[in-house]
Amino acid sequence: MSSRELPQEPIIPGLPDDLALRCLARVSHGFHGVLETVSKKWREVMRGTEYANFKTREGWSGDWLFVLTEGSEDQWIAYDPEADRWHPIPKMPRTHPDWKHTGFSCVCAGDRFLVIGGAYAPSDPWLPHEKPIITNEVYQFDPFRKEWTAVSSMQTPRSHFACCVISGKVYVAGGHNLHCPRGLTLAECYDPLSNGWEELPPMPNPQMYCLQCTGLSYNGKFHVLSNQVGLLDQNSAKVFCPLTGLWNTVEDILAFSRAMQVAVLVIENDCVYTIVDWGGSLIKTRDTAKGEWYNVGKVPSVFLPDYSQPLEVIGYGFAGLGHELYVMGGRVFKWEDSGAGRFYIVNLGLVRVCDPSKSPLKWCEKRPMCLTASGLIVGCASLKESSAS
């Protein structure tokens, strides 16, 4: 018999291939590395276009938590809560791969993970006078095909800007670039379905808070909040309503984290939470009726082996996935008495989870991040598989 006449090896012996493909497609992404070692056939299937197209058609993306740590050479890692596993994803393409990328925003819109804008600066200490490059680039990660693609760029390059997702569209505003170093008021909106950016009315009353800001989607509106901790006069938020196309100013005093670009998040139960890490790492929730923040608990300190004192973690990341709050990574300063005595920085790969709606908070530890990823978190975002899937 010729090779063309040889019977095809079944994906799973005893099952029709279409049913076997459906079974494999339901396996969460954290197990894919293990499944690919089962057989050459399974590896070919799981890396094939038919498998990716099937998962896309069914909307079976799974739940993802994307994290980038400082010093990881721009290697994003992903967590699968079903498998309790971390794994690296392919490296994101960049126009300046040897330069440090900061000031970007990362969000999940629909079933895609987006990394937007930011600044590229030389990491070589011998180039201190080299100007950074502010970019308008947008890259998209497809969880079905596990690949990055460049999508339509923002109209305005920007860094350290407010960003959030409302009804499947990405809204950005504020930040700065080389032409407007004191802060942008320009805003725009990205529609993943049309792969296009639409200009929005600029924010009113330019202020320095546009220089570094964070975004919050709440009640169907885009809140632009000052992220310049310590500026006591910055107690207002600019709020954009997509339905009316109008901005207004809301007087408020909001809590912030000094460590994260995204300092406020909304968890599945439509409650707003933030972690304020100015001493104590307090978790706060907002009573929207009263317009006030209340403490619900704190991020617990950690104990290192052979070190008796509890240590407060700084520089961690936090994200909401479903009804749970994830606190990841960070670092502690450990005092050593040897010699003249000094503090040592210890990078952590810890992953701790709680349900912030339940009091008192009960924390549990998940699998630590990959060995190559620990310490200061510079970006994180979560993707929840559609319930319709």
CATH at 216: 2.120.10.80
Confidence of residue 339 (pLDDT cuts 50, 70, 90): low
Confidence of residue 2 (pLDDT cuts 50, 70, 90): very low
**Residue 38 contacts residue 44 (beta carbons within 8 Å):** no
User: For 370-387, what is the mean pLDDT?
Assistant: 88
Domain boundary among 60, 75, 92: 60
Q: Do β-strands 196-200 and 213-218 pair in parallel, antiparallel, or remain unpaired?
A: unpaired
Give the pLDDT confidence of 345-364 residue by residue, as tens digits: 999 999 999 998 888 999 99
In a domain, 1, yes or no: no
38 and 158 both lie in a single domain: no
Task: Please report, as a single letter, which amino acid is at residue 336.
Answer: E
User: For 269-285, what is the mean pLDDT?
Assistant: 74
46 and 148 both lie in a single domain: no
335 and 231 both lie in a single domain: yes
Q: What is the pTM of this model?
A: 0.90
Running DSSP on this structure, what letter comes out for residue 88?
E
48 and 132 both lie in a single domain: no
Give the pLDDT score at 360: 93
Give the pLDDT score at 338: 73
Tally the domains of the chain: 2
Confidence of residue 111 (pLDDT cuts 50, 70, 90): very high
Nearest to 261 by CA among 138, 101, 372, 131: 101
User: Left, alpha or beta for 356 (phi > 0: left; psi -120 to 50: alpha)?
Assistant: alpha
Give the pLDDT score at 119: 95
| Per-position b or e across 328-353, b if 16+ CB within 10 A of its CB | bbbbbeeeeeeeeeeeeebbbbbbbb
In a domain, 129, yes or no: yes
Give the pLDDT score at 278: 62
Give the pLDDT score at 21: 93
As given in the structure block, the two tokens for residue 92 are 């994101």
**Structural domain containing residue 45:** 8-60
User: For 290-319, what is the mean pLDDT?
Assistant: 87
**For tokens 């308008």, what's the residue?**
136
Give the pLDDT score at 388: 57
Give the pLDDT score at 250: 80
**For tokens 């209340």, what's the residue?**
294
Residue 183 pLDDT greater than 60, yes or no = yes
Q: Which residues pair with 105 in a beta bridge?
A: 116
Give the pLDDT confidence of 191-202 residue by residue, as tens digits: 999 999 999 999
